[in-house]
Structure 1
Amino acid sequence: MTESEIVGTPAGDARITWHPAPGRARAVLAVGHGAGGGIGARDLQALAAGLPAAGVTVALVEQPWRVAGKKVAPAPKTLDAAWRGLWPALEGKGLPIVAGGRSAGARVACRTARELGAGAVLALSFPLHPPGRPEKSRADELLGAGVPVLVVQGGNDPFGRPEEFPDGGYELIPVDAADHALSVPKRAALTQQEALGTVVDGVRKWITALV
C-alpha cells in the first residue's frame, strides 16, 4: 500500500510517495520527475508498480514547485537544494539508496549523488543536450556522477539519442523508437507495454546486481 509524506526543504515542501517492497527490502530507488511533468509519468509509474516485488522500495519524489502547483521549474541550484533537503527522509529507511529521475530529475541525481552518498544513479531520458543543439552537451554531469550510473534512453529522443552519448563509465539501455517520454508510436516494432517492460526489467536486473 502506498503512502505519501510531506518533507520540508530549503526550497519549500516536497512530497514523497512510497511504494514499499513487501517483506524485507534490499534498497530504495528514489526517482524525481522532469521539468515538464510529475510523478504520473508512465516510466515512473511502471517502476513503482514493478520493482517492489523484486525487493526494491520505490520513492516517487515531487519537487516543491510541483507540490505548490507551479507550472515552471526553478533553476537547477534550487532543484538540487530541495533534493538535498529531502534526502534524510530517504535515508530514514536504513537501506542503500539509488538516486534517480527522469530528464531534469536525472540531472539533479547526477549532480548530487556523490555528496549525498547515493549508491548509484538511474538516469531516465537524460537530456544530453537541448533539442537541435548537440554542441550544448551536458555530458559532464553524467560522467561526473562519481557512482555507477544506468541511462535509459529512447531511440528517438530529441534531447539525445543513444548513439550520441559519449563513452564513459556507465551502462545504457536503449528503448527502440521511444521519444523523450519513452512513448513509442503505434507503428513501432514493439508496443508501449513492451517498451515499459524493457525499462522495468533492465532497471530491476541492474539494481539487483548492485545490491
Structure 2
Amino acid sequence: MSLRRSTQNVVTDAGDARITWFAAAEPRLVLAAGHGAGGGIEARDLRALAAALPGAGVTVALVEQPWRVAGKKVAPAPKTLDTGWRGLWPALAARGVPVVAGGRSAGARVACRTAAELGALAVLALSFPLHPPGRPEKSRAGELLGAGVPTLVVQGGNDPFGRPEEFPPGPYELAEVPHGDHGFAVPKKSGTTEGQAMDVLTAAVTGWIASLG
C-alpha cells in the first residue's frame, strides 16, 4: 500500500515547526507523534507507526519541533518544547477528527504535560523517560500520572530510562517490547528481530487505539 504522505510547515511562538502527514483514506483519528531530544522523526518506532496505522483508519502526523527544523543539535527546555507543541495543535486538530497526542521520550513528556489543556483524546507515550539512567530518584512519574486522559505507555524491557517493572501503578496501560532499549533496538542474542519488535509495538498501539471512544 502506498502512503499518502505530505508535509506542512507551521509557525509557532518557538519557531517554525513541521508536520509530516501519513493520511488514512477515511480517518477516524489523528495520532500526532513528536520525536525525542536526541533524534527526529526517523526513529524506528515512529516510522513503524506511520506505516501501520493509516491502514487502520488512523492518520499519523509526525511532528518536528522548531529546534529540529532549525538544524540545532540540542533540545531546548521543556517549557519551550511545550510552546512549540501548543502552536502546532490547531493544525493537528484542523482535520475534524479527534487527536491522540503522542511522542517518544521527551516527546512523550510533552504530550503528557499538555494533553488535558489541549483537548487530546488520549496520550501515547513511547519510551517514556521515567528517570535519567541510573537515577531512579529523579522520577518524572508525576507527568505521566497527571496526563488526565487515557494513556498507553509502550516501553522497552531493557530501557535504562525506566524498565516496565519500575513504573508505578496508575491510570494508564503499559505494553512491553521485550529486550528493547530506549530506541526499541533489540540485541541479536535475544532472538528477536527489529521487525518482530516493531510488530509488538504496532499491534499494542493498534489494539489500544481501537478501544478508544
TM interval, shorter chain, is over 0.9
Structure 1 residue 189 displacement after superposition: 3.0
Structure 1 residue 121 displacement after superposition: 0.2
| Deviation string, structure 1 residues 134-153 (Cα, Å, up to 9, x no partner) | 00000000000000000000
Structure 1 residue 194 displacement after superposition: 0.6
> Which residue pairs with 2:56 in the alignment?
54
User: Paired residue for 2:11, among 2, 8, 11?
Assistant: 8
Q: Does 1:123 align with 2:125?
A: yes
> Which residue pairs with 1:18 in the alignment?
21
TM-score, structure 1 as length reference:
0.99
| Deviation string, structure 1 residues 11-46 (Cα, Å, up to 9, x no partner) | 000000000002x11100000000000000000000
**Which structure 2 residues correspond to residues 1-211 of structure 1 after superposition, within 5 A?**
1-22=4-25, 24-211=26-213
Runs of 4+ in 1 over 2 A off after TM superposition: none
RMSD of aligned C-alpha atoms? 0.5
TM-score, structure 2 as length reference:
0.98
Structure 1 residue 90 displacement after superposition: 0.6
Which SS does the other structure have where 2:204 is aligned? Answer: helix
Q: Distance in 1 between matches of 2:207 and 2:28?
A: 13
Which SS does the other structure have where 1:187 is aligned? Answer: helix
Which SS does the other structure have where 1:133 is aligned? Answer: coil
- What amino acid sits opposite 1:103 in the alignment? S
| Deviation string, structure 1 residues 70-126 (Cα, Å, up to 9, x no partner) | 000000000000000010001100101000000000000000000000000000000
Can you give the 5+ residue segments of structure 1 that lack an aligned partner in the other structure? none
Q: Distance in 2 between matches of 1:119 and 1:81?
A: 19
- What amino acid sits opposite 2:48 in the alignment? A
